[in-house]
Amino acid sequence: MGKEQAGQVRDTAAVRSMLRDAGYSEKAVNYYLETPHLGIIDNPDQVSEMTGTCGDTIKVYLKIEKDRIQDVKYQIMGCPGSISAAMAAGDLVRDKTVDDALALNDGDVFNFLEEIPVKKHHCIQLAVKALLSAIQTYRDGNGGDSVVKAGIPTGHGRNRTGKDDRLGCCGAPKGEGDCETAGTCCGKTISLAPKN
Ligand code: FES
C-alpha cells in the first residue's frame, strides 16, 4: 500500500479488507480509519515533529493542564502502522500525568493494538518515540516547537541493514525489549522485506 495522508477519501471496505489480510487487528484498522486524534490543537503547550529513517513524519500537538495530558493530536505523513499506533498511543496517554505518560513503551501500544504485521513494528516505535519526545520536551521546559529527523536511530525501517540486528524493533537489545513480551520481535529473525 502506498503512503497516503490520513483522512483522504478512501474505499473503506476495501482498505479494511486489505489491512485485515495484511495482519492488522480489527482494532488497529479502526484506529487507522477513524483517526480519533488526527488534527491540530489551537494554542498547544507543545508541538514536536519527528521523522523516522523510513521517511515518515509525525507531528505531535499536546495540551497539558495541571500536569495532565488533556489532549493529543497529530498530523501524520505515514503508513497505516504509524497512524494506528499514533492514535492508540494518544488514547493511552490521555488524562495521564506527564510522568505516567512518559512510562509508555512500544510493548504497551503493540498489546493495545492486539495485532500488527511484524514488519510494521518499527512504525509503533516511531509513533511512541514521537509522542514521548514531545512530552519529554515539554517536561524539560523547552516548550515551543521541536523537530527531530530520523528519530529511529537503529530501527527496522527500510534503511535497516544486517548490522542493525543487535537491536529489536523496540530499540532495546534483542531479548531485552518489550516486544519480547509480546512475542514478536526480540530474539527472532526479522524480515528485511521492503516496506509495503
Ligand atoms: Fe515508516 Fe511505517 S512508520 S513505514
Candidates 123, 156, 160, 169: which one to mutate for ligand 1, based on the most atoms within 8 Å of Cβ?
123
Say how far apart CA 139 and CA 155 lie, in whole Å: 25
Whether 91 is in a domain gets the answer yes
- Report the number of distinct structural domains present in the chain: 1
The answer to whether 130 and 151 have CB atoms below 8 angstroms apart is yes
Q: What is the span of the domain harbouring residue 62? A: 4-156
User: Is the minimum distance from the CB of 58 to ligand 1 under 6 angstroms?
Assistant: no
Whether 61 is in a domain gets the answer yes
* Protein residue closest via CA to atom 2 of ligand 1: 123
The answer to whether 35 and 42 have CB atoms below 8 angstroms apart is no
User: Is the minimum distance from the CB of 52 to ligand 1 under 6 angstroms?
Assistant: yes
Mean pLDDT of the chain: 79
Q: Kindly report, residue by residue over 145-176, the tens digit of the pLDDT.
A: 667 665 644 333 322 333 334 445 444 444 44
Whether 167 is in a domain gets the answer no
pLDDT more than 70, % of the chain:
67
User: Is the minimum distance from the CB of 178 to ligand 1 under 6 angstroms?
Assistant: no
pLDDT at 142 over 80: no
Q: Which of 65-74, 135-144, 156-165, 182-191 is predicted most confidently?
A: 65-74
65 CA from centroid of ligand 1 (Å): 31
3 state DSSP class of 64: strand
> What's the pLDDT score for residue 67?
94
Say how far apart CA 16 and CA 149 lie, in whole Å: 31
| pTM for this predicted structure | 0.73
70: CATH: 3.90.1010.10
pLDDT band at 11 (very low <50, low <70, confident <90, very high): confident
> What's the pLDDT score for residue 127?
98
> What's the pLDDT score for residue 141?
84
Whether 161 is in a domain gets the answer no
